[in-house]
Amino acid sequence: MTMTENSILELIGQSQSGAGSGSRRIAALSVGIGDDAAVWRPRPGFETILTCDWFLEGTHFLADRHPSRSLGWKCLARAVSDIAAMGGEPRCFLLSLAMPKKRAGEWLANFLKGLREASRVLHCPIAGGDTTQRDQLLINVTVIGECERARAVLRSGARPGHAIFVTGRLGEAEYGLRLTQARGKNLKSGDARLQKHRYPMPRLEAGAFLARRGLATAMMDLSDGMSSDLPRLCAASGVGARIDQAKLPCVRIARHDASKKFDPSQLALNGGDDYELLFTVAKKNVARIPKRIGRVALTRIGEITSEKKILLVSQRGRSQSINNQGWDPFR
């Protein structure tokens, strides 16, 4: 596999031209890879959602510990998660990839495989990008999404008394990360404990459901961990929150990991990379929130308060402040 200007992008693009759900939306791309820029036709009555995400060797992943197929999947999935967090649908993405020449063979083939899988599953075809050579792997992904006009769910709409919900289970990605850090390459790729760390699934269906029905008053995705992200939602809304520890849907630790003393509660509160949705719902609408959307559970975990504190209430009724211990690149 040789690398020339655009050739990497074209490799990804080629696989889209066949049949399959990923190619359905390409009709909106008037101009794709190979020109100075892509040209995309927005849907009348919709707004455009724009997001970009760094995914850097050494900072966000380790090239020798993470299979490149999972990196291909994850770089797109985590950027698409920001679209889910607004209640939108992804439409297309731009890939900026800088890589060493030595990665041009098997590493790149598997990276592109994972990226194509994500592109197909998430209905998000490639529109363009930029590739260059570099001693380390640098990835930046821009995703363009859409939502019906004025339906995007922001972080700022939570009000005292609103119920707080999350999708899925928290701490699962951190569990997989810690196993990866401890054992390096000696982990089977099919190991279910690694699934969410390697192949996170943005909660597009849940996000769109909540946005379309106007059920979520505020929403964001949990990328840095609950203890970092909940304070952000509260700050944007000018409120506080009380989380019921017993209700947190925590990661389940495998029996043979019992000796390692994983604390599910701590993983759930401080673990990053889950890409679950955190959202708030006005009391009158709580009954309209289903138990599941698709296969993803929705769990009520607490309440928004007027006092600007973020409290965790234990099973015994004791409350303590949640300390921000999630991911912060500037710490």
**Distances 225 to 32, 51, 233, 275, 323 between C-alpha atoms, Å:** 36, 19, 12, 9, 11
- The string of DSSP codes covering 184-219 is TT-S-TT-GGGHHHHS----HHHHHHHHHTT-EEEE
Interface residue with a second copy, options 98, 254, 297, 311 (CB under 8 A): 98
Q: Which of residues 170-229 bind a second copy (CB under 8 A)?
A: 219-221
Residue with smaller CB distance to a second copy, 145 or 168: 145
Amino acid at 6: N
Q: How far is the CB of 304 from a second copy (least distance, A)?
A: 17
Per CB under 8 A, 40 contacts a second copy: yes
What CA–CA distances, in Å, run from 257 to 175, 195, 197, 295? 10, 16, 17, 26
Least CB distance from residue 27 to a second copy, whole Å? 13
Distance CA(311)–CA(126), nearest Å, equals: 42
- The piece of 95-103, 192-200, 245-253, 258-266 that touches a second copy (CB under 8 A) is 95-103
Please state, in angstroms and as integers, the Cα–Cα distance from residue 314 to each residue in 186, 291, 309, following that order. Answer: 37, 23, 16
Q: How far apart are CA 202 and CA 277, in angstroms?
A: 8
User: Residue 137 or residue 268: which is nearer to a second copy going by CB?
Assistant: 137
Q: How far is the CB of 154 from a second copy (least distance, A)?
A: 5
Please choose, out of 10-18, 34-42, 170-178, 301-309, the segment that lies near a second copy by the rule CB under 8 A.
Answer: 34-42
Q: Which of residues 99-158 bind a second copy (CB under 8 A)?
A: 101, 127-134, 138, 140, 142, 144-145, 147, 149-150, 152, 154-156
Helices 7-14 and 106-121: angle between axes, nearest 10 degrees? 50
User: Which residue, 15 or 51, is less far from a second copy as judged by CB?
Assistant: 51
C-alpha 110: how far from chain center: 21
- The helix (H) or strand (E) run that includes residue 3 is none
Q: Which residues bind a second copy (CB under 8 A)?
A: 3-5, 30-31, 34-42, 44, 47-54, 56, 59, 82-83, 85-86, 88, 92, 94, 96, 98, 101, 127-134, 138, 140, 142, 144-145, 147, 149-150, 152, 154-156, 219-221, 232, 236, 328-330
